[in-house]
Amino acid sequence: MTNDNSQQQSASVVVISGGSRGLGLSLVNKFLAQNCQVATFSRSKTPEVKALENEHQDTDRFLWQQVDGASEDDLRGAIRTITKSWGRIDTLINNAGTGHDGLLALQRMQDVDQLLDVNLRSAILLTQLCSKSMIRNKSGSIVNISSVNSVRGHSGVAVYSATKAALDGLTRSLARELGPMNIRVNSVAPGYFESAMVGELSEDAKKRIQRRTPLGRLADPSEITEAVYFLASQQGSFITGQTLVVDGGLTC
């Protein structure tokens, strides 16, 4: 997204990985509300995605594809379909991710490989594919969804944390690499917010997190969404190479 007037936003093409539920779905709805053309993909179609398809079937503003985030062929095919349909990509939100808890010494390598493939390798590939369109247009914005675990260590999430820290490193280097083409690259590192991953925690664990958080609560996904939108929009037009931590003060 390069401009906030409605005429240009209607032509702005936004790609959001993992947009069928949770934060990804919140991001999809936010950018649709800003008159963008939004493409997303996930492994399965949720009722929320079906509702969006029905709502926008006559507007050509929403596109969902079934994609395995660990499959290079699937990802390449998805981006080909988007560029063929809409001609360009203006914004990429690397949101898709997965998590496996457990001590590294006991973790199965197939789980390690899945974390690396979905959280990091797919984000790198999507960035490579989408940035080509941005380079041609000499304009664009990329926002990587990192994690508070990229800046603060926690037991049991070593590999997950490594993938998210790698996204922050990718963000900083790509900001320098793509800046001369007027392409901004940033990341958002959410703290704990209402999500499927947090939903698996016990009530005692949630209360401990709330006690450690200066604002005393978990975030709502909309609060993370607004931070992502800020960085992707004209409001953040002179911000690049940064990681915005949105954690209620947990890491302060």
Q: Under a CB-based contact definition with an 8 Å cutoff, are residues 13 and 2 in contact? A: no
Q: Tokens standing for 19?
A: 């947009």
Candidates 160, 192, 193, 229; catalytic one: 160
Catalytic residue list contains 160? yes
| H or E element at residue 13 | strand 13-17
Long-range pairs for 66-71 at CB < 8 Å and ≥24 separation?
A: 66/41, 66/42, 67/41, 67/42, 67/43, 68/43, 69/17, 69/18, 69/41, 69/42, 69/43, 69/96, 69/98, 69/117, 69/118, 69/122, 70/114, 70/117, 70/118, 70/121, 70/122
From residue 74, how far is each of 13, 37, 43, 66, 166 by CA, in Å? 20, 21, 10, 8, 23
Task: Tell me the angle at which helices 122-137 and 158-178 cross, rounded to the nearest 10 degrees.
Answer: 10
Active site residue ranges: 160
